[in-house]
Structure 1
């Protein structure tokens, strides 16, 4: 009898201990699964969340108008489309021949150098007629221009596209406010494109028809309808839009070139270019792939490649103050 009682007590004790052990193991397992799920969710959120480039793509919408011709459709224009042009919100090639595969539009302007101004006028009118309300900014570039679209959007982000302004590399000329280099690329706000089409292109007083340089004449038309030439230099006074290849603008190289007589702002001869470069001109066929590699594939260890946040947007008053300052700028070389 005593032996049976001892066996019963011992069995109860072992059963209780095993039950506690099981509960403990279950608790540990649940906590581990909860932690793992939380970690997976956090990782998924970090990986699936939009990058700054993605946010900029949707919040600062840029239509790109690239000047080309039929003989360049399969060469330079194709390179633009497969490289930086792929990062435009919309890419249109201004040409004299339709090419659906490329995205080229026949603007019905004969291919001659003296007709470039008429061709760009037609391209900007086409963009206004078909895409005015769909995009915030309208970039004109050549098929030998390379544009870092992420830097362009980051630069434009603080500014209101309903402000009458355009940006680029500013050249000086006979009128005091200058104009933007066509080769470096220039970008019009939505309101600038609206004013150009509503008040300038149909008025030969504001926007005369002639065979002069495209960029100078478009600049003249814009300024005549109250569009302000904005200052696109960085906080150190370095240019973001380059009318030449960067290799031609390194210190002690830029002087003695044709650019010297066109500079609106005196250049910094010791540091030609901004760290937030937007564009450069005279891109060779092999340059497109080289720029793509160094900008989008080469990794430098321990150096961050993106910003952690976007800059604040300018208020209406801040925007008005900027426009006032820019409108009062006169060339340093006058």
Structure 2
């Protein structure tokens, strides 16, 4: 009974948050996810969204989670990235997932997995993509909102993107302690120039002492923040116009209701917790496979008849057409 109540509460939180992301207020003042889709519709009609904001997503997972957590990511939000890599502790050509040399197996090896992943991206994808996003296998990403955040100033007329990928940028849920870094579970994204600078540090072209890139284990999100700091890259602002976070470190019900955060979070968070769920939310963390499918359905398929009639073109249509 207790488990049923917990799951029911999670479902209510998911549906409520999806509602805030998808339901619109009027034809002239639209909020949330469909508002972002409307902007993307105009953007697509003027330029090539895939060439302007190209994102590689890499999902850190392990063999035992491949057919559960990682599969749910693969079947929901991952295809909306321009490219997705599943980084595991062993190769799996069927899934597919890749193992990178130098990765230490087990949870303690997440730091080595992150270092090797970024080095792999630098070597193979630097010139092809603009942004590089790290997530866990229980992170949910609204990819369109991510792209909207990164390039929203270019969604009207022919302005350049708000955040130039050839400048050093680092975005995620900002923690202000331990020198400043972003939450690993909430996911974080760095620009192409930030990746260049990060590789300089990893390759010992700049002082690695603070960064500790050659450690096999460690607290991944803290250490990547230190390495980026050595590279001269600091966390950027990821709040919406109402001061609410776009990247979330916790489960949907915690973030939506805003009253069940652990004590340490109030000390760590750069933004005061409990301000609610942004209509332009990009990520949530601790999303299990069942909830991930429900959240994906709620955001991308569930909507009022009015919205379906008014939204003849959706970003999903664009993604389907672009893959033909």
TM-score (norm 1): 0.71
Return the match for 2:127 from 133, 142, 165: 133
Return the match for 2:236 from 226, 230, 239: 230
Separation in structure 1 between the aligned mates of residue 76 and residue 51 of structure 2, nearest angstrom:
19
Report what 2:220 is aligned to.
214
Report what 1:89 is aligned to.
82
- Higher RCO, 1 or 2 (CA under 8 Å, sep at least 6)? 2
Return the match for 2:197 from 172, 176, 195: 195
Report what 1:122 is aligned to.
116
**1:158-177: per-residue Cα shift (whole Å, max 9, x none)?**
210011111000012232xx
Evaluate the alpha carbon distance shift between residue 145 and residue 75 of structure 1 in structure 2; reply closer, same or farther with a 3 A threshold.
same
Secondary structure of the equivalent of 1:302? helix
Instruction: State the Cα distance separating 1:301 from its structure 2 match.
Output: 3.5
Report what 2:4 is aligned to.
none
Separation in structure 2 between the aligned mates of residue 220 and residue 181 of structure 1, nearest angstrom:
13
Return the match for 2:300 from 250, 275, 296: 296
Over alpha carbons, which structure has the higher Rg? Answer: 1
Separation in structure 2 between the aligned mates of residue 185 and residue 198 of structure 1, nearest angstrom:
22
Instruction: State the Cα distance separating 1:259 from its structure 2 match.
Output: 2.0
Secondary structure of the equivalent of 2:265? helix
Report what 2:251 is aligned to.
245
How large is the RMSD of aligned CA atoms in angstroms? 2.2
Aligned residues: 255
Deviates more, 1:101-110 or 1:273-282: 101-110
Return the match for 2:61 from 64, 68, 73: 68
Query: Which ranges in structure 2 are unaligned for 5 or more consecutive residues?
Result: 1-39, 152-161, 315-324
CA contact (8 A) 1:168 1:241 kept: yes
The answer to whether structure 1 residue 150 and structure 2 residue 135 are counterparts is no
Query: Which ranges in structure 1 are unaligned for 5 or more consecutive residues?
Result: 1-49, 309-334
Instruction: State the Cα distance separating 1:289 from its structure 2 match.
Output: 1.1
